[in-house]
Structure 1
Amino acid sequence: MNKIFLVLSFLFFLNISNAQDSLATEEPPKAAAVKYSEKDIKIDSDTIEAKTFSKNFKKKYTDSDFVYEYKAPEKTAWDYFKEWLASILRGIFTFNNPQASLNFVTMLLKVIAALIIIFVIYLIVKAIIAKEGQWIFGKNAHKKTVYYSEIEKNIHLLDFEKLIKESIQNGERRIAIRYYYLWLLKIMAQNHYIEWDIEKTNSDYLYEIKSPSHREEFTYLSYLYNHIWYGEFEIDETTFLKTENRFKKSIKTFSNE
């Protein structure tokens, strides 16, 4: 029985070995041959643009992105001044490093410059509000300022009725309106509505007036005076008469109260 089993096992393994040898030697099937004709050949007719570089191409790449070698900028006189000032401050205050003192000096100078600009703007605005800005914008303003400031210094000694009459006869209506305004200030000071001071502005006088009705009247008359006098234009007869009557009425009111 055992012999028969051994024979059968031998025959079984022999068949498997032969099958593997046949699979190893079997060639794969060949693919069918593909035939091409001249019609299947396509020629690319597109032109190719040749790229060239000009001799001066480096001049086109001057942007900071193409600068690979950093060169420190040369110091100016302003830079040396800031360094000198920073060295002085380092002797007074304690800084972590020289750069910290230099940054402090830069910030300090910016603050000082801003304060100077603000102060100059303040002076200009104050001059305009006070109607002293004519020396900046007006023609022959220096001559007018000197001449009429002498009149204002002697406001309590002047005969304004006479001065106004002479101005009207000479056709100087603007000057006549100015005399009316100074006459009004004289009457208001004499009756203690305001305290006269050549350095004061219209706004200063306005705050001194207690009565609301008087303050409103003075505001309107100041507007008329500023518009006519500082406007530097001649007024017609109708406008002058209306303005003159308004000043006369107010002068009479402030004189009698």
Structure 2
Amino acid sequence: MISFSGNALALAPIEAKTEITQAKQKPIKTDQSDLQKVKFGDLKEKYSGADFIYEKRSAKKNAWDRFVEWFNGLFESNTSKNTQDTIDMVKTFGAGLLILFVVFLIVKSVMNKEGRWIFGKNSDKGIIRHEEIEKNLLLVDFEKLIRETKISGERRLTIRYYYLFLLKKMATQGFIAWDPEKTNSDYLRELVDPQLKTKFDYLSYLYNYIWYGEFEIDEDALQRAEQAFEQTIKSMPL
């Protein structure tokens, strides 16, 4: 009896454990439905935008980049550090010379268009800037300037010099009192001679129309205006 009872007690836990294990195991469900293939036909179009390009593309080279590349190519070689430093100095110096040359061309262009160096009639060493002509009216050789502008084809500037030449002639002959601050109307009121006053009024109109109006004139119009100025200037006593 004791032996039977012991075997019964020993088998009881094993049977209980087997029942628990079987209770935990659940049947596996199997999907028996048909599989459908999915096609992705628009992947290339969808992912071809700029946000999906991971390759680094070099920027287009401008004229300066091409010049630097060419300049660097002149010195491409296996060199020591000292030689490389010398090359870098030469490159910097060359770039500086290039910049200075460009600045020189710009200044030269502006001076040729807007300014002119003028030599005084009474002094070979007196150099007067174009914008200071009116301040030194009595020293300027306008006949020389008129010849130069006619050769260079600067018709409007020729008319300007003719008008200033007329003012200089009237001032030296005592018809007007020259002052850079005065206007053409001021000089017109100072003139006493009625004929000279009429001529000056007409020539002032021509000057204002051509110079301040910035109207380009042809050769025929220049000759007519030149003739009117010459007649008035020569009519005044020396």
TM-score normalised to structure 1 length = 0.42
Larger Rg: 1
TM-score normalised to structure 2 length = 0.45
